[in-house]
Chains A and B, each alone.
Chain A
Amino acid sequence: MSKILVFAETKDNVFKANAFEVVSAGKFLADKLGSEFAVITINDAGDEQIKALGKYGAAKVYQLSLNELNAKSGIADIKYSHGAFASAVSSFADANAYDVVLLSGTSFGREISPSIAAKTGSAIVPDVIDFIPEDGGVSFKRPAYAGKCYTKVKANGGKVVVTLRPNVLKAVENSADSAVEKISPDSVNISANDFSAYVSEVSVASGKLDVAEADIIVSGGRGLRGPENFHLVEELAGVLGAAVGASRAVVDAGWRPHGEQVGQTGKTVSPSLYVACGISGAIQHLAGMSSSKYIVAINKDKDAPIFQVADYGIVGDVFEVLPAMTEEIKKLKG
């Protein structure tokens, strides 16, 4: 492996924590493998924003203007096109002989990475949670079977596209002076086909933290007995700055929106702290959260399977334990 290209994602021209994680990972790999590393980003962020990547070790950042890229489409209502991002990154990687492309495994990263791998003829290793350096190369650790096991995967020589599971490999400050170089959309290979499916609208519930991005999650299950009691979960989440999650049973019952569901058919999460309230711990639920760093279970049944994966737990009634926790933490945070 000789040259590493990191794709740093922005939302409304601002880097998210995941972008710093993947830049840190690029720096780590480059140091381990003694290889070159650069960052590519597609947006209209100002230089100050871009330079923030320097704090995580990015010495060279290539910036392609999203406005200029979109202008190539001739489409009036375009916000962006995944296809154009994939083509821009692929042709830049090919033209400059990058053989490793790293992205964060956000919904955006997971959408464009298979296209990049196909366009560049690369192996793809999605959802990586660790790097395992060996014999001058590197293998990748990733979960499979919904987190019930881990696999060590190796690219068989040649090029590779890797996505990193968000919130697992933390961003590491590693100061470098970053030089920003603008690249023109004419220098990358873009065609009308790259806009044949395009995003015309993005709607995100504002102010609400999503389970997939949260560092702390408080989840509620059928033990809450009804949607009218979820304020107990929301209040604890509020004092912790956490996102609210849910089991499938309560989502199917219509108590909570599907976007909050954690598990095999919901979201896979790996926060630092996962608090499961009135959730039994069915295998499909565990599939989505068992890689959390710390798991707390609150359940009135001491034999509930959730206690088998819990680091801490209280056997008790959520209607008493949750308000007490909210109060206790409020006190602590002053």
Chain B
Amino acid sequence: MKIVVCVSTVPDSTTKIKVGGSGKSIDEAGVTFIINPYDEFAVEEAVQLKEKNTGEVIAVSFGTDRAKEGIKKAFQMGADKGILIKAASDDFDSYTVAKNLAAVIKDLSPDIVLFGKQSIDFDGLVVPKMTAEFLGMPSVNVVTKLELNGTDATIEREIEGGKETLKAKLPLVIGAQKGLNTPRYPNLKSIMASKSKPIEEKAAIDEPVKSSVLEMNLPAAKGQGKVFSDGAANVPELVRLLREEAKVI
């Protein structure tokens, strides 16, 4: 089975965000970059599929050199090969990413392509479905369950208050949501083995960006809230404020 998993590299979720000098992106000083957390579910699923069906897992990322971080983590979890599509700069949008991923993935002729459902920097929920469209492959994002029976797939997708069950056939694109599986912790042996796995570099195709960030701002600091310290005795006052001042109940 030929399995492709797309990984992105993002600031650690505990990063304190500061706006950088350009006013359009974050200040990267001191920021730790990690694999996008949802992509770990995608890599885990990819490796489990390989273990069940044999085959290979190829991790693909579009970005600057930093994007190797995500690929390396995928290696430690069991991916076999990596491809870095080298972006000339940090200035790209989801459309550029999806076009580039699709161009490279098409040549790999995979049976399945896995993504995280969402990157925690841009929070797009966009790239998996967009890439699938450019590949002409069926796709489902926010997936919590995937069952393959030959080339038939049964998929569960999380929606508000419940789930959808879908049917599709391979080749297929899946975006992983938490709940799909439990990502493994790489052991020392797999960490050592990962060091010799190759990352192939490819040039990006020139795709003009369709949208640009003009400004980045931190939320306005909240004024000091009204906090009472007498426990249940303050409840009538709190409820009055919610009704009369905030007018929310």
Q: Which residues of A contact B (CB under 8 A)?
A: 77, 79, 82-83, 106-108, 110-111, 113-115, 117-119, 122-127, 139, 143-156, 158, 160, 193, 196-205, 208-210, 212-213, 216, 240, 258-259, 264-266, 268, 272-273, 283-284, 287, 290-291, 293-297, 302, 307-317, 320-321, 324-325, 328-329, 332
Selected from A149, A213, A310, the residue in CB contact (under 8 A) with B227 is A310
Task: Please indicate which of the listed interface residues A79, A268, A312, A313 has the most CB atoms of chain B within 10 Å of its own CB.
Answer: A312
B230 at interface, CB cutoff 8 A: yes
B58 at interface, CB cutoff 8 A: no
- In the complex, which residue of chain A has the Cβ closest to the Cβ of B227? A313
Q: Which residues of B contact A (CB under 8 A)?
A: 11, 13-17, 19, 24, 26, 37, 93-95, 98, 120-130, 132-134, 136, 138-142, 155, 157-169, 172, 178-179, 208-219, 222, 225-232, 234-236, 238-239, 241-243, 246, 248-249
**Nearest 10 CB-CB pairings of A with B:** A316-B231, A204-B162, A123-B210, A210-B161, A118-B133, A197-B168, A197-B138, A114-B129, A196-B138, A313-B227
Query: Given that A156-B212, A320-B232 are known contacts, is A283 also in contact with B159, CB under 8 Å in the complex?
Result: no
Selected from B127, B128, B142, B225, the residue in CB contact (under 8 A) with A311 is B225
Q: Report the minimal beta-carbon distance from B148 to chain A, rounded to whole angstroms.
A: 14
Q: Tell me whether B216 and A315 are in contact (CB under 8 A).
A: no
List chain A residues, Cβ under 8 A from B246. 273, 293-294, 311-312
List chain A residues, Cβ under 8 A from B213. 151-153
In Å, the complex CA distance between A203 and B239 comes to 36
Task: Please indicate which of the listed interface residues B93, B132, B160, B214 has the most CB atoms of chain A within 10 Å of its own CB.
Answer: B160
Query: Given that A110-B125, A111-B141 are known contacts, is A329 also in contact with B219, CB under 8 Å in the complex?
Result: no
List chain B residues, Cβ under 8 A from A110. 125, 141
Q: Tell me whether A145 and B160 are in contact (CB under 8 A).
A: no
Offer 23 A-B interface pairs, CB within 8 angstroms, sorted by A. Answer: A107-B142, A108-B159, A118-B98, A123-B95, A144-B123, A147-B219, A148-B17, A148-B219, A151-B214, A193-B136, A197-B168, A200-B165, A200-B167, A202-B165, A204-B160, A209-B161, A240-B249, A294-B246, A296-B242, A302-B227, A310-B225, A315-B228, A328-B236
Q: Tell me whether A311 and B226 are in contact (CB under 8 A).
A: yes
Interface of B is mostly: mixed
Q: Report the minimal beta-carbon distance from A85 to chain B, rounded to whole angstroms.
A: 12
In Å, the complex CA distance between A108 and B140 comes to 11
Q: Report the minimal beta-carbon distance from B19 to chain A, rounded to whole angstroms.
A: 7
In Å, the complex CA distance between A294 and B167 comes to 41
Q: Report the minimal beta-carbon distance from B142 to chain A, rounded to whole angstroms.
A: 7
Q: Report the minimal beta-carbon distance from A14 to chain B, rounded to whole angstroms.
A: 14
- In the complex, which residue of chain A has the Cβ closest to the Cβ of B171? A196
List chain A residues, Cβ under 8 A from B238. 296, 312, 314, 325
Q: Report the minimal beta-carbon distance from A246 to chain B, rounded to whole angstroms.
A: 14
In Å, the complex CA distance between A79 and B164 comes to 10
Q: Tell me whether B13 and A83 are in contact (CB under 8 A).
A: no
Interface of A is mostly: mixed
List chain A residues, Cβ under 8 A from B179. 258
In Å, the complex CA distance between A203 and B164 comes to 6
Q: Tell me whether A258 and B160 are in contact (CB under 8 A).
A: no
Q: Report the minimal beta-carbon distance from B188 to chain A, rounded to whole angstroms.
A: 26
Selected from A124, A153, A317, the residue in CB contact (under 8 A) with B130 is A124
Query: Given that A193-B136, A197-B166, A324-B232 are known contacts, is A273 also in contact with B248, CB under 8 Å in the complex?
Result: yes
Q: Tell me whether A118 and B225 are in contact (CB under 8 A).
A: no
Selected from A114, A126, A328, the residue in CB contact (under 8 A) with B235 is A328
Q: Tell me whether A329 and B231 are in contact (CB under 8 A).
A: no
Q: Tell me whether A203 and B123 are in contact (CB under 8 A).
A: no
In Å, the complex CA distance between A145 and B123 comes to 7
- In the complex, which residue of chain A has the Cβ closest to the Cβ of B223? A311
In Å, the complex CA distance between A141 and B58 comes to 36
In Å, the complex CA distance between A321 and B209 comes to 52
Query: Given that A114-B126, A118-B134, A320-B231 are known contacts, is A156 also in contact with B211, CB under 8 Å in the complex?
Result: yes
Q: Tell me whether B166 and A198 are in contact (CB under 8 A).
A: yes
Q: Report the minimal beta-carbon distance from A196 to chain B, rounded to whole angstroms.
A: 4
List chain A residues, Cβ under 8 A from B248. 216, 272-273, 293-294
In Å, the complex CA distance between A295 and B226 comes to 11
Task: Please indicate which of the listed interface residues B14, B127, B214 has the most CB atoms of chain A within 10 Å of its own CB.
Answer: B214
Q: Report the minimal beta-carbon distance from B226 to chain A, rounded to whole angstroms.
A: 5
Query: Given that A201-B165, A311-B226 are known contacts, is A283 also in contact with B216, CB under 8 Å in the complex?
Result: no
In Å, the complex CA distance between A196 and B172 comes to 9
Q: Tell me whether A315 and B229 are in contact (CB under 8 A).
A: yes
- In the complex, which residue of chain A has the Cβ closest to the Cβ of B159? A107
Q: Tell me whether A143 and B123 are in contact (CB under 8 A).
A: yes
Q: Tell me whether B139 and A197 are in contact (CB under 8 A).
A: yes
List chain B residues, Cβ under 8 A from A197. 138-140, 155, 166-168, 172
Q: Report the minimal beta-carbon distance from A224 to chain B, rounded to whole angstroms.
A: 16
Query: Given that A149-B26, A264-B120 are known contacts, is A321 also in contact with B228, CB under 8 Å in the complex?
Result: no
In Å, the complex CA distance between A321 and B239 comes to 11
Q: Tell me whether B26 and A316 are in contact (CB under 8 A).
A: no
Task: Please indicate which of the listed interface residues B120, B121, B134, B209 has the most CB atoms of chain A within 10 Å of its own CB.
Answer: B120
Q: Tell me whether B239 and A329 are in contact (CB under 8 A).
A: yes
In Å, the complex CA distance between A257 and B241 comes to 32
| Given A154-B214, A272-B248, 10 other A-B residues pairs in contact with their CB atoms under 8 A | A114-B128, A118-B129, A118-B130, A124-B211, A145-B121, A150-B216, A201-B164, A259-B161, A311-B222, A316-B234
